Amino acid sequence: MIYYSPHRKAHRRWKGQTRLCRLTIAVQILLLLTVSLVVCGLLEMSDMGASLLSLSGQKAMDQAPLEVGEGQGQEGSTKYTYTYKTLPGYFMQDDPATDAAKFDFMSTNFGLIDRDYESDQSLPDGGRGSTQWQRFEHHISTLNRDAREDNDEDRRSAKRHGSNPPPQTRYVLFFLGRHGNGYHNIAERYYGNIAWDCHFSALYGDPDGIMTWSDAHLSKEGKRQAREVNTFWKNQTSQDAQKMSLPELYLVSPLDRTLETAEISFDGLGPNNGKLDAVVMEKVREGTGIHTCDRRSNVEYIRQKFPTYNVDLDPNLTETDEYWIGDRREPDDVLVKRLRGFFDDLMSNTALAGDKERISITSHSGAIGAMLKVLGHRKFSLTTGAVIPVFVKVQRKSSNDEKEDKTLGRRHGGGGEGANHEDPTLDLPDLGDAETDKSKWEPVPSCPADLDLATVGQKRWGMGLKEFLDGVEDGTLDPNAVPFEFTGRSKY
């Protein structure tokens, strides 16, 4: 006989419901884990996508919009403030005792000071078997490695939340190269800077058709200077000399004279069969306006003449020149602010700059002067074709960090603007809307009443323009023999 109990039946029903509940919970957990894995995978794919975009020539610069405010870069919705400090004690050009007018970077190992570094001890033989440049490059890498170790946890945390911020502290060696001698340089020397600024700079060439200087090209002398720099780079990087490493990133102004200078200077060096793979950047062009030598050609012209150059990464590089205007000149303060924005954009752009330690920028005298000011370097004028290395410590702060610093300052009795914290931005004057309103740029200066434009060059040199040009090109005439007149206008 089977004993039947209603309580036992109820007990069996309860156990069945328990199993069902457990099964439901397990399914929910599995679904949650699956969704989490899919989300993580998508985040990783997005990071890979950004890298692939930069490698495939797409607009990786979009990750850090180029139209950012003073001293700020951008990564996603977070804004960053940058400080730049040229570190002294590494190059002779940093020393106020070094005379820029007499300095030769090619006879002084780029000006690198012969000294020991703490990081030498981490080399296999204490650095005794390494060249000065090898030990210096190792020193840069050591500083960056230590900085990365300090910041790694912060970066990992940020990446888990879907962002990939640039490092908080990094050390970068910039090679700032001025273009070789151009036809506009020859014309300015012939006519003098007063006549050049008030009249000849606005022309496309001389009245007799001897030479043109609109988007000025390199002269024969300028090409020779670039070839000298090329020979110097080849010697510096050879195994028989300093064994220097080449720059890891090449940026160049879109004006013809800089494009050709960079092409010649680095010809036969590096990958891509020795052909320069540079990125053309609008913001590193010369101060612009009025002077036709600073009006660039269309992007299609650049693409055809310099096919290995990348003209697609910079969204500011429009097909036609939208920045140059014929009746106003970009003021020095606006130029400095433009270059400040360029460096902030570059440091924010992890796809382009990444962890690169050596960056070459081929530009112009005025633009390089503004760069030196932004980077905290003393004024140092470059002759045509010259290169100056600048070793810079770059520090990043997010807007949230700044707010927190200010709060901490107030808690500890400091001022409301950050207490004892150093001002992280370059001290620039308030430009109002002069940066974007070009009607407030500087107008064409008036020529002196007693200046005879028809004979000014002849009077300065005792010869016509054709004879002067031939002398400069064949090296029999020093274009610096007659000094410029002082105009009272500041120049970088």
Strands 358-363 and 169-178: parallel
Instruction: Read off the amino acid at residue 335.
Output: L
- Whether the pLDDT of residue 35 is over 50: the answer is yes
- Give the ranges where 117-268 is alpha helix by DSSP (H): 132-160, 183-191, 193-198, 220-237, 256-265
**Is the model more confident about 216 or about 78?**
216
Percent of the chain whose pLDDT exceeds 70: 71
pLDDT of residue 195: 98
- Distance of alpha carbon 228 from alpha carbon 6, whole angstroms: 104
* DSSP label at residue 70: T
**C-alpha distances out from residue 165 to 37, 173, 256, 279, Å:** 23, 21, 35, 22
Task: Over range 391-411, report the average pLDDT.
Answer: 65
Q: List the catalytic residue out of 179, 184, 217, 364.
A: 179
- Whether the pLDDT of residue 18 is over 60: the answer is no
Range with the poorest average pLDDT among 57-66, 235-244, 278-287, 317-326:
57-66
- Whether the pLDDT of residue 7 is over 50: the answer is no
**Is the model more confident about 475 or about 483?**
475
Check: CB of residue 114 under 8 Å from CB of residue 395. Answer: no
- Highest mean pLDDT among 37-51, 90-104, 410-424, 477-491 belongs to 90-104
- Whether the pLDDT of residue 327 is over 50: the answer is yes
Of the candidates 473, 490, 489, 472, the residue with the CA atom closest to the CA atom of residue 481: 472
- Whether the pLDDT of residue 12 is over 50: the answer is no
pLDDT of residue 296: 98
- Detail the DSSP E strand segments found in 364-486: 387-398, 442-443
**C-alpha distances out from residue 166 to 74, 160, 263, 394, 417, Å:** 10, 15, 30, 11, 25
DSSP letter string, 262-299? HHHHTTT-STGGG---PEE-GGGSPP-SS-GGGPPPPH
Check: CB of residue 225 under 8 Å from CB of residue 385. Answer: yes
The confidence band for 271, taking pLDDT boundaries of 50, 70 and 90, is confident
**Is the model more confident about 203 or about 166?**
203
pLDDT of residue 397: 83
Strands 328-329 and 442-443: antiparallel
Task: Over range 231-253, report the average pLDDT.
Answer: 97
- Whether the pLDDT of residue 449 is over 80: the answer is yes
366-396 as b/e: b if 16+ CB within 10 A: bbbbbbbbbbbbeebbbbbbbbbbbbbbbbb
Q: Is 74 helix (H, G, I), strand (E, B) or coil?
A: strand
**C-alpha distances out from residue 486 to 181, 201, 326, Å:** 21, 17, 24
- Whether the pLDDT of residue 399 is over 90: the answer is no
pLDDT of residue 115: 97
pLDDT of residue 111: 99
Q: Give 363's strand partners.
A: 178
Q: Answer yes or no: 421 catalytic.
A: no
Write phi, then psi, for 448 (nearest 5 degrees).
Answer: -60, 145
- Whether the pLDDT of residue 414 is over 50: the answer is no
Q: Which two tokens mark 306?
A: 């310099």
Q: Answer yes or no: 263 catalytic.
A: no
- Whether the pLDDT of residue 458 is over 60: the answer is yes
Angle at 224 between CA 200 and CA 236, to 5 degrees: 130
Task: Over range 134-149, report the average pLDDT.
Answer: 96
- Whether the pLDDT of residue 443 is over 60: the answer is yes
39-78 pLDDT per residue, tens = 455 544 444 444 333 333 333 333 334 433 334 555 555 6
Q: Give 86's strand partners.
A: 392
pLDDT of residue 163: 61
Instruction: Read off the amino acid at residue 58.
Output: Q
The confidence band for 149, taking pLDDT boundaries of 50, 70 and 90, is confident
**Is the model more confident about 306 or about 168?**
306
- Distance of alpha carbon 66 from alpha carbon 201, whole angstroms: 30
With residues binned 3-state (H G I as helix, E B as strand, rest as coil), the percentages for the chain, rounded to 5, are 45, 10, 45
Residue that the structure tokens 């030598």 belong to: 293
Task: Over range 312-335, report the average pLDDT.
Answer: 97
pLDDT of residue 407: 42
- Highest mean pLDDT among 19-23, 271-275, 366-370 belongs to 366-370
Q: List the catalytic residue out of 75, 260, 286, 330.
A: 286
For the chain, domains (ranges, CATH) are 58-182+217-447 (3.40.50.1240)
The confidence band for 331, taking pLDDT boundaries of 50, 70 and 90, is very high
Percent of the chain whose pLDDT exceeds 90: 66
**Is the model more confident about 354 or about 92?**
92
Q: What is the mean pLDDT of the chain?
A: 82
Task: Over range 89-118, report the average pLDDT.
Answer: 97
Task: Over range 135-152, report the average pLDDT.
Answer: 90
- Whether the pLDDT of residue 208 is over 70: the answer is yes
The confidence band for 273, taking pLDDT boundaries of 50, 70 and 90, is confident
Whole-structure pTM value: 0.78
The confidence band for 270, taking pLDDT boundaries of 50, 70 and 90, is confident
Task: Over range 145-159, report the average pLDDT.
Answer: 71
| Residue partners of 430: CB distance under 8 A and separation at least 6 | none
- Whether the pLDDT of residue 121 is over 80: the answer is yes
The confidence band for 162, taking pLDDT boundaries of 50, 70 and 90, is low
- Whether the pLDDT of residue 119 is over 70: the answer is yes
Task: Over range 178-187, report the average pLDDT.
Answer: 98
Range with the poorest average pLDDT among 70-84, 98-112, 218-232:
70-84
pLDDT of residue 24: 56
Q: Which two tokens mark 455?
A: 């004979």
Task: Over range 210-218, report the average pLDDT.
Answer: 98
Q: Is 180 helix (H, G, I), strand (E, B) or coil?
A: coil
